Amino acid sequence: MANQVREQWATRAGFLLAAIGSAVGLGNIWRFPYVAYEGGGGAFLVPYLIALFTAGIPLLVLEYILGNRYRGSPPIAFLRMSRPTQALGWWQVAICFVIAAYYAVVIAWAVRFTGFSIGQQWGDDPEGFLMQDFLQVAAEPGMVSSYVSGVVWPLIAVWVVTLGILALGVRRGIERANKIFIPLLAALFLVLVVRAVTLPGAMSGLDALFSPDWSAITDSAVWVSAYGQIFFSLSIGFGIMITYASYLRRGTDLTGSALVAGFANSSFEILAGIGVFATLGFMAVTGGIALDEVATDGIGLAFVAFPEIISNMPAGSLFGLLFFGSLVVAGMSSLISIVQVVIAAVQDRTGIGRIPAVLCVGGAIALASILLFPTEEGLYLLDAADHFINQYGIALAGLVVVVVVSWVLRKLPELQTHADEASAIRLGWWWPVTLGVITPLVLGWMMWDSLRSEIA
Ligand code: PHE
Ligand code: NA
């Protein structure tokens, strides 16, 4: 086990920026707007905020405490809490390995599309462009797929930058990078949102997003998706926050930090919702299309709907640069945090230095990502991996962690004291009740729900 002195953040603000950088990612930009729209619009804010306060913030505090108290990446932190739980930590590390390998690929696409924005190189048929010209998905099923050359170089660049930042360490690498990324991202977002809401038709988009459909509140599926969004969006259950908090000085206000990070993430999310739907409203009004038809999430939103809108917009090139540029920045700060979990775990376990760990571990993830995903098979794998991890991997890890910590080891009182000693905000009865009762019930329900829909 490592006996070097553990690295530390230079300032608490630096830690917060890195934590916000990890949380604010593709999920804020392309997942939240659509999930909110589908889940009752303005009415969705009710389950969303309840999920934030009954699961999001409490779990964030728990991860901060585990990292800060046991001072390690997930395997070591869990091992120090109780030896057999080490396996939980390795499960999270494995999830991070897989996610990092495909998250980088989506960032590489965004890098390419930032370039394509200049002069709208996707032409009149962005969907065809994405599938055939860019991803080179074979037109006929069963055809031998080719290696997608267009993605390889940007993907290599994404990995060189990521591993370069990680090689510089926590303070000089991760902290400094986020000090640039987050203000930059906030600026990009603000310009984008201002541009979007001043487009003709913007208000009809906002109307569609925010007009509340109160019947959604009685739909259990909407609640499941609100909790799912909160878990995904706050990057809870990956051990990322355990890792980042392990570089935090003892005696730091963890409860306050979780509140700041949680609110910052939600603010970025709501801002993105406004930007995305104002833009979709413009598309609906100027293109005479029903908003229903253009409102999607994920790859369809970012790489098909947005290119089409950008082509129809005055000064579209600039808008495209800002939009895809912010996807890149938001994605990079998340990718850095995922890879750091794996690197830190191997370092903690073997005691090897940072540079060899970045080269071996980071190199292995990068290689897997470069060899695997830019192929057609890789695309299907990406989809399958994403589905499995989001539906089961994270929820399972989260469920086991909360049950073990609150019921098997009965550690909550001790952990609560750790946080309360350093914070003006006391956790009170709220924290053990949410973690011990509400979170396990919700996570259990979510897993049952996705299993059931799988069978049906
Ligand atoms: N929380 C990120 C988002 O909202 C996603 C993410 C998942 C980031 C896992 C890091 C690790 O997009
Ligand atoms: Na997020």
340 lines ligand 1 (CB under 6 A): no
Please work out whether the CB of residue 347 comes within 6 Å of at least one atom of ligand 1: no
Q: Tell how far the Cα of 428 is from the centroid of ligand 2, in angstroms.
A: 27
Is residue 147 scored above 80 in pLDDT? Answer: no
**Which structure tokens are listed for 6?**
């553990």
Can you tell me the distance from the alpha carbon of 284 to that of 204, in angstroms, rounded to the nearest whole number?
A: 9
Q: What's the 393 CA to ligand 1 centre distance in angstroms?
A: 14
Using the predicted structure, report yes or no on whether residue 396 has a pLDDT greater than 50. Answer: yes
Using CA atoms of 157, 163, 167, 168 in order, give the dihedral in degrees to the nearest 10: 60
Give the residue-averaged pLDDT of 201-225. 94
Q: How large is the average pLDDT for residues 216-243? A: 92
Higher model confidence: residue 243 or residue 144? Answer: 243
| Chain centroid to CA 103 | 9
Which protein residue has the closest C-alpha to ligand 1 atom 9?
Answer: 235
Could you tell me the pLDDT band of residue 3, with boundaries at 50, 70 and 90?
low
The first and second tokens of residue 294, run together, are 């253009």
Task: Give the distance (Å) from ligand 2 centre to CA of residue 25.
Answer: 5
CATH fold of 12-455 reads: Amino acid/polyamine transporter I (1.20.1740)
Question: What region does 353 belong to: left with phi over 0, alpha with psi -120 to 50, or beta?
Answer: beta
Residue nearest to atom 11 of ligand 1 (CA): 235
Instruction: Please tell me the number of the ligand nearest to residue 330's CA.
Output: 1
Q: Which atom of ligand 1 is nearest to the CA of 337?
A: 10
Considering Cα of 94, then 97, then 102, then 106, what sign does the dihedral take?
A: positive
User: How far, in Å, is the centroid of ligand 1 from the Cα of 142?
Assistant: 34
pLDDT at 99 over 50: yes
| Residue 248 pLDDT exceeds 90 | yes
Residue 80 clears pLDDT 90, i.e. is over it: yes
* Residue from 232, 271, 339, 342 to probe ligand 1 pocket by mutation (most atoms less than 8 Å from CB): 232
The residue type at 207? D
Contacts of 421 (CB under 8 A, 6+ apart): 251
pLDDT of residue 336: 98
- The C-alpha atoms of residue 120 and residue 340 are separated, in whole angstroms, by 35
The number of the ligand nearest the C-alpha atom of 262 reads: 2
Mean pLDDT over 188-207 rounds to 95
Residue 99 Cβ contacting ligand 1 at under 6 Å: yes
Structure confidence at residue 367 as a pLDDT band (50, 70, 90): very high
* ipTM (interface pTM): 0.96
Residue with the smallest CA separation from ligand 1 atom 7 is: 235
49 three-state secondary structure: helix
pLDDT of 148 higher than 70: no
Cα–ligand 2 centroid distance for 12 (angstroms): 20
Closest CA to 195 of 286, 114, 278, 270: 278
pLDDT bin (cut points 50, 70, 90) of residue 118 is very high
Which tens digit of pLDDT belongs to each residue from 281-324? 999 998 888 888 888 888 888 999 999 999 999 999 999 999 99
The residue-averaged pLDDT of 366-385 equals 79
Arithmetic mean of pLDDT, 173-178: 98
Per the CB < 8 A criterion, the answer to whether 340 and 167 are in contact is: no
Name the residue of 106, 233, 235 whose CB sits within 8 Å of the most ligand 1 atoms, as the mutation to test its pocket.
235
Token duo for residue 421: 């000693």
Q: Is the pTM of this model over 0.80?
A: yes
Token look-up 């049952």 returns 448
d(CA 75, CA 63): 13
- pLDDT number for residue 11: 97
Which residues lie closer than 8 Å to 356 by C-beta, 6 or more apart? none
Write down the domain spans for the chain: 12-455
Residue 141 has pLDDT above 70, yes or no: no
Segment 407-423, tens digit of pLDDT: 999 999 999 999 999 99
For ligand 1, whether the C-beta of 332 sits within 6 Å is: no
Which spans in 297-405 are helix H?
Answer: 298-300, 306-311, 316-350, 354-357, 363-372, 376-388, 394-403
236 against 388, higher pLDDT: 236
Query: Which residue's alpha carbon is at the smallest distance from atom 6 of ligand 1?
Result: 235
Report the pLDDT averaged over residues 57-79.
97
Taking 60 as the threshold, does the pLDDT of residue 146 lie above it?
no
- What is the rounded average pLDDT of the residues 386-396? 74
**Ligand showing the shortest atom-to-Cα distance for residue 52:** 2
In the predicted structure, residue 363 carries a pLDDT above the cut 90: yes
State the chain's mean pLDDT as an integer: 91
CA of 266 from ligand 1 middle (Å) equals 13
pLDDT at 54 over 90: yes
The finding on whether 338 has its CB within 6 A of some atom of ligand 1 is yes
- Is pLDDT larger for residue 297 or for residue 391? 297
The whole-number pLDDT of residue 144 equals 45
Q: What per-residue confidence (pLDDT) applies to 275?
A: 96
Non-local (6+) Cβ contacts of 66 within 8 A are: 77, 78, 81, 242, 245, 415
**Distance (Å) from CA 316 to ligand 1 centroid:** 28
Section 164-186 average pLDDT? 98
Provide the angle, in degrees to the nearest 10, between the axes of the packed helices 254-287 and 220-233. 120
pLDDT surpassing 80 at residue 14: yes
Closest residue (by CA) to atom 8 of ligand 1? 334
Q: What is the pLDDT of residue 139?
A: 56
